[in-house]
């Protein structure tokens, strides 16, 4: 080989090595969530992934795992801590077991409506809560939304707590919820989400409670006759990743991830709005009997003993501050 040829060969080899390394520099991020890909979680996750891919010029891409294919929310949060999953789009259901400061936002009848809740989580108190995650081996990219939860069951229409009394109802693995629901007279049965459809179908439990977008996307109308718009608790959600992943990113890429999560949240909430507007009629069409007007005062009254305990645990002032947040 002449000298020139050697140089040319070497530079071609270097160039192809470079091309190869830029291909292998593409990282595939695994993101998981429990509802179907068509749900608000799917909509939010898709925007999150698209924005990350765009903002990093394709250096980061996602592979989505919807429908609880990687397990329930608790399992996925553990997987993020361990590094076997990169991102989870999860409700706060099991989050208080990891980050105790979050528990207070799961109190029933804490937020009046969507505006109240969204303002709170977008405002300083919500942002302050996000800072509690890194100490637990998690990074919260942003708050997002699951929605106000309503009860469904296979037995009867629920208008007041007495109608719910005695029903065996699947709940999330969330002590704050379970304590409140016991005060309604319900028998709470905690269970990971991927098992819920089967448990309803087999009659292991009589009912469950979830926001309209989850009831829709999970086709619960196939296994539940009665829906009551109890709106008994707001269910926040989060995009969680790990310090391990974030620490690998340049400052510019970190910003891309945080901005992507903000945009994803807007899309996820938008899908909640759409499902709230159209979903109830859709569920009726699918055969559910819908009680639109429940006795909200009676439900709030029934919760009083539970609120006494919440006040002891979280401080009456702290609860009031959230209720009065403007």
Question: What's the CA angle centered on 304, arms 146 and 212, to 5 degrees?
Answer: 20
Is 107 a binding residue for ligand EAX by CB under 6 A? The answer is no
35 near ligand EAX, judged by CB under 6 A: yes
Work out whether 73 is an interface residue with ligand EAX (CB under 6 A).
yes
Contact with ligand EAX (CB under 6 A): which of 34, 152, 221, 224? Answer: 34
CB 271 within 8 A of CB 216: no
Compute the least distance from the CB of residue 165 to ligand EAX, in Å.
Answer: 21
Closest to ligand EAX by CB, 237 vs 294, is 237
- The residue ranges of DSSP E strands in the chain, in sequence order, are 27-32, 60-65, 87-91, 139-153, 168-171, 187-190, 207-210, 226-241, 289-291
By the rule CB under 6 A, 146 interacts with ligand EAX: yes
Comparing CB distances to ligand EAX, the nearer of 235 and 268 is 235
Return the half-sphere exposure (C-beta side, CA atoms, 13 A cut-off) of residue 164. Answer: 32
Determine which residue in the list 55, 66, 71, 93 makes contact with ligand EAX, applying CB under 6 A.
93
Strand duo 168-171 + 207-210: pairing: parallel
Cβ proximity of 56 and 26 under 8 Å: no
Shortest Å distance, C-beta 91 to ligand EAX: 3
Round to whole Å and give the CA distance between 106 and 108.
6
The span from the CA of 208 to the CA of 189, in Å, is 9
191 with 75: CB under 8 angstroms?
A: no
> Applying CB under 6 A, does 108 fall inside the site for ligand EAX?
no
Nearest approach in angstroms of CB 121 to ligand EAX is 15
Hey, which residues between 180 and 199 contact ligand EAX (CB under 6 A)? Answer: 193
Q: Pick the closer one to ligand EAX by CB: 56 or 90.
A: 90
**Tokens at 248, concatenated:** 């690998």
Is residue 172 near ligand EAX by the rule CB under 6 A? yes
Residue 210 as a binder of ligand EAX (CB under 6 A): the answer is yes
State yes or no: residue 235 binds ligand EAX (CB under 6 A): yes
Token pair belonging to 6: 């050697």
Q: List contacts with ligand EAX (CB under 6 A).
A: 34-35, 73, 91, 93, 146, 172, 193, 210, 214, 235
């Amino acid at each position: 080989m002449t000298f020139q040829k050697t140089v040319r060969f070497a530079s071609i080899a270097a160039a192809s090595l470079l091309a190869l390394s830029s291909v292998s520099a593409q990282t595939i991020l695994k993101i998981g969530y429990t509802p179907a890909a068509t749900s608000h979680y799917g909509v939010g996750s898709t925007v999150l992934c698209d924005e990350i891919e765009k903002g990093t010029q394709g250096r980061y891409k996602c592979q989505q795992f919807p429908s609880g294919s990687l397990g329930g929310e608790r399992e996925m949060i553990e997987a993020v801590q361990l590094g076997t999953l990169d991102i989870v789009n999860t409700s706060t259901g099991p989050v208080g077991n990891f980050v105790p400061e979050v528990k207070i936002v799961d109190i029933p009848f804490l937020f009046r409506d969507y505006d109240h809740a969204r303002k709170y989580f977008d405002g300083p108190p919500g942002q302050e809560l996000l800072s509690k995650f890194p100490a637990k081996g998690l990074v919260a990219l942003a708050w997002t939304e699951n929605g106000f939860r309503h009860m469904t069951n296979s037995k009867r229409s629920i208008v007041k707590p007495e109608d719910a009394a005695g029903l065996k109802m699947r709940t999330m693995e969330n002590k704050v919820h379970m304590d409140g629901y016991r005060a309604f007279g319900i028998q709470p049965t905690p269970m990971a989400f991927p098992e819920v459809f089967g448990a309803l179908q087999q009659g292991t439990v009589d009912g469950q409670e979830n926001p309209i977008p989850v009831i829709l996307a999970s086709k619960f109308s196939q296994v539940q006759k009665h829906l009551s718009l109890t709106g008994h608790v707001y269910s926040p959600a989060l995009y969680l990743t790990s310090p391990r992943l974030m620490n690998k990113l340049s400052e510019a890429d970190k910003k891309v991830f945080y901005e992507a999560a903000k945009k994803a949240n807007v899309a996820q909430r938008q899908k909640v709005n759409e499902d709230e507007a159209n979903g109830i009629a859709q569920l009726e069409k699918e055969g559910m009997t819908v009680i639109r007007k429940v006795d909200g005062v009676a439900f709030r009254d029934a919760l009083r003993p539970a609120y006494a305990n919440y006040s002891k645990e979280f401080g009456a002032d702290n609860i009031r501050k959230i209720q009065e947040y403007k």
